[in-house]
Structure 1
Amino acid sequence: MRTYLNPIVLQRADPWVIKHGDGYYFAGSDPRYDGIALRYAADLDGLQSAPEKTVWRRHESGPASKYIWAPELHRIGNAWYIYFAAAETDFEDSGLPTHRMFVLENIDEDPMSDHWVEKGQIVTPIDSFALDATTFVHRGTQYLVWAQKDPAIEGNSNLYIAPMSDPWTLGGEPVMLSKPEYDWECIDFLVNEGPAVLEHDGRIYITYSASGTGPAYAMGMLAADTDADLLDPASWTKSAQPVFRTCEANGQYGPGHNSFTKTKDGAQDIMVYHARNYTDIDGDPLFDPNRHARAQIVRWTADGPDFGVPEPDALWTPKSVDVLPSDGGALAGTAPVSSRKMA
């Protein structure tokens, strides 16, 4: 089974990878939270050294001016779309930042061109903290899955699904699929977020992340039959235990906010996720930059996907509160990016 040289990209949380043509596009949360950048490489192991192109920057003020989080690149029809979350206020101004979900469109063949157009905010029935939009097309219908705060429900965010009338507009009422309820979903914060969709052998799976963004961060999963009504919560079953979590033996902590892609030949599924390789975090984990992107093959069983445990790092990585240059510096095999190797 293929093993990747983890981490595949340094200091990029919420990693999103899409296989297109002969290679892979990558997007993720920059620890400066100030814009959206893409990179492209023929193989996942080449993404770290690939040039990074900034395609959109935050506004100077207003609803999309702070905390640019979790960009996802999607090919829908003959256009490219980027879904992301952005806020207007700082954390200290309110209990939760004012994140809402936004969409960019590019009709060029190359998504790294400069022709991205803002399509605006995805409007939901409740005007509240909303983030981590992902989308998929199933049997001719485009769906949006995202995380949002319902003021009537305790916690930061729940998971919702809705059909779309176009790539930036909901086409029906949202349905809640999951809320934080198990102990492992409620450590530090009550959170369900970061959904990712995977289809295999007559089943649709939605993985998601739960709890605070430190070592307790872990992945859960929902599953439904492909011929079921995806807008009926009863169609979905929820795992009572996390399907991917911290592995102290491998020095991997707080894995989550994943995406899925394919191997070059399309034969195997790959999970791309972020994790840290240490636990001594000063202050809010959201402002520690070293959630690095990692990848590993998904194993399939009669019961569905087996994600295993986060694999140990194969490369030298930094332990620094500083944000690295966009190319991350050199990696193992040339020169280490840091004189200290993390366990």
Structure 2
Amino acid sequence: MLFTTSFINLALLGFASAAKFTNPLRKSGPDPFIVYDHDTSSYLFMQTTGNGLRVTKGPTLDGIRDFGNEKLVFQNQNMKDKPSVWAGEIHKIDGNWYIYYSHADAVWVVSGGSDPVGEYRDPVRLYDRGWSLDNTVLKVGGKNYLVFSCHSKDVSDNTIGGSSICISPLVSPTKINQDQVTVISRPEEAWEQSGGNTNEGPQPLYWAGQVYITYSASFCSTPDYSLGLVHLTGDDPMDAASWTKKKDEPVFHSGNGYYGPGHNGMFISPDGTELWNVYHATFHPEGQCGDDRSTFAMKVDTTNGLNFGSPVTPGEYTAPSGEGGDSSTAQKGASNATTAQADIVGVTGATIIKSAVATSKFVDTLAVTAPTVIGAVQAAVTGGSETEGTKCKAKRSRSRLVVRYDY
């Protein structure tokens, strides 16, 4: 009887122990993107690989480290001839998967089916009226929008140099309305202009009934490469006045010996209770645009608003909540991921973006009534924590440094 009781207690302790993962997820992992797929109880991961589109599928966050879980899902001769493919993102729309990516200074999409690592086909250039890159899908009020990096002068009378953030309605998963393109963020602040005026890598963020977009500011080869934030505070995503930018400083920047944390992805934990940020960063104090950028994942503190914190250091961390849970946990997570979280409350000394809209047909989830805030100022940048690294293998392609990989 004693043996049986002890055995049961040990088993319960084993089930109760939280899953772990190790940062960095990839030693070389620029432009990372993660989504948790409840239908397959799997994480789906993409990063820049230069000459094709590769998806890593695994049941745990730590499984992203295993290249055995990675599959080349699309590659054509044009990608081989011009190995400047970057920033792939995998999105499910109406039950089918699509991969949005950048190639040769243009934004593209390929179409898949119900299997995220199945066959992809029919590459379509989505925007052909100027330079573009880093496209993603924003979902608001039952409508889909393409958000991407553009040149302001191509779509507006504003001629500020460098790259800005544009939005356009998705008529279908593979077509936008090119006659309707709006600039919702320009690199007008000093912290967005280090090394060149830059707004790129937009990423939708849905939390507590609110819609945000993070984006990368300043040029990637500088330690000032960081994350900015805009908040949908109006009714119409296509109206630039509906977006409110946090102007005083970035929400996530260099720290703890890691520099240029940017080009991120946002994802929700399997049980729907935690907001996570996946990003790349380098240990080179001067910054990095090549393959010496590692993939890190960290939980965003949502206790009092949105506090992105400072870049994490290498080591073992607690995995996202609900990882490895049973089917009921997975179903709950799928529901929580599209349901409003607890109200956001104010923080002393935090920057208030704007009072949340009480109701809006354009907001997917129930909007909160408390002010939306951004967390307190981050810790100061500290000295480097690593001294080793391979030389940057990146080569300049037009206006961007991209990575060339040989597979």
Which bracket does the TM-score occupy, shorter chain normalised? 0.7 to 0.9
Rate the CA distance shift 1:318–1:106 in 2: closer, same or farther, 3 A.
Answer: farther
| Structure 2 residue 230 is the aligned partner of structure 1 residue 222 | yes
1:126-145 alignment runs, 5 A limit? 127-145=129-147
Task: Give distance in 2, aligned partners of 1:25 and 1:48.
Answer: 12
Structure 1 residue 6, shift from structure 2 partner: 1.1
| Structure 2 residue 171 is the aligned partner of structure 1 residue 165 | yes
Match of 2:183 in 1: 176
59, 68, 73: which one pairs with 2:77?
59
User: Is the CA contact (8 Å cut-off) linking 1:205 and 1:221 kept in structure 2?
Assistant: yes
Match of 1:93 in 2: none
48, 73, 78: which one pairs with 2:95?
78
Rate the CA distance shift 1:50–1:40 in 2: closer, same or farther, 3 A.
Answer: farther
| Structure 2 residue 232 is the aligned partner of structure 1 residue 233 | no
Structure 1 residue 322, shift from structure 2 partner: 7.2
Match of 2:306 in 1: 305
Q: Secondary structure at the match of 1:173?
A: coil
1:7-51 deviation digits (Å, cap 9, x = unpaired): 112211110101003120100112xx1111111111112211142
Match of 1:112 in 2: 117
1:44-72 deviation digits (Å, cap 9, x = unpaired): 1221114221112253489x834101000
Match of 2:283 in 1: 277
Task: Give distance in 2, aligned partners of 1:160 and 1:322.
Answer: 30
Task: Give distance in 1, aligned partners of 2:65 and 2:79.
Answer: 31
Structure 1 residue 168, shift from structure 2 partner: 1.6
Rate the CA distance shift 1:291–1:58 in 2: closer, same or farther, 3 A.
Answer: farther
User: Is the CA contact (8 Å cut-off) linking 1:58 and 1:66 kept in structure 2?
Assistant: no
46, 51, 66: which one pairs with 1:34?
51
243, 254, 264: which one pairs with 2:260?
254
Q: Secondary structure at the match of 1:5?
A: strand
Q: TM-score, normalised by structure 2?
A: 0.69
Q: TM-score, normalised by structure 1?
A: 0.81
Segments of 5+ residues of structure 2 without an aligned counterpart are 1-17, 317-385, 394-402
Amino acid at match of 2:226: A
Amino acid at match of 1:206: I
1:208-236 deviation digits (Å, cap 9, x = unpaired): 001111311011000024x7211111111
Task: Give distance in 2, aligned partners of 1:3 and 1:244.
Answer: 24
Structure 1 residue 154, shift from structure 2 partner: 3.1
Task: Give distance in 2, aligned partners of 1:29 and 1:173.
Answer: 29
Rate the CA distance shift 1:138–1:232 in 2: closer, same or farther, 3 A.
Answer: same
Identity between Structure 1 and Structure 2 (%): 31
* Corresponding pairs, count: 300
Rate the CA distance shift 1:296–1:2 in 2: closer, same or farther, 3 A.
Answer: farther
Structure 1 residue 317, shift from structure 2 partner: 9.8
Rate the CA distance shift 1:280–1:234 in 2: closer, same or farther, 3 A.
Answer: closer
Task: Give distance in 2, aligned partners of 1:184 and 1:228.
Answer: 28
User: Is the CA contact (8 Å cut-off) linking 2:200 and 2:217 kept in structure 1?
Assistant: yes
Structure 1 residue 279, shift from structure 2 partner: 2.5
Task: Give distance in 1, aligned partners of 2:107 and 2:276.
Answer: 26
Structure 1 residue 3, shift from structure 2 partner: 7.4
1:47-99 deviation digits (Å, cap 9, x = unpaired): 1114221112253489x834101000001112110001111xxxxxxxxxxx1
142, 146, 149: which one pairs with 2:148?
146
Task: Give distance in 2, aligned partners of 1:102 and 1:233.
Answer: 24
Provide the alpha-carbon RMSD of the alignment.
2.6
User: Is the CA contact (8 Å cut-off) linking 1:2 and 1:297 kept in structure 2?
Assistant: no
User: Is the CA contact (8 Å cut-off) linking 1:100 and 1:130 kept in structure 2?
Assistant: yes
Q: Secondary structure at the match of 1:245?
A: coil
| Structure 2 residue 319 is the aligned partner of structure 1 residue 319 | no
102, 119, 126: which one pairs with 1:122?
126
Match of 1:8 in 2: 25
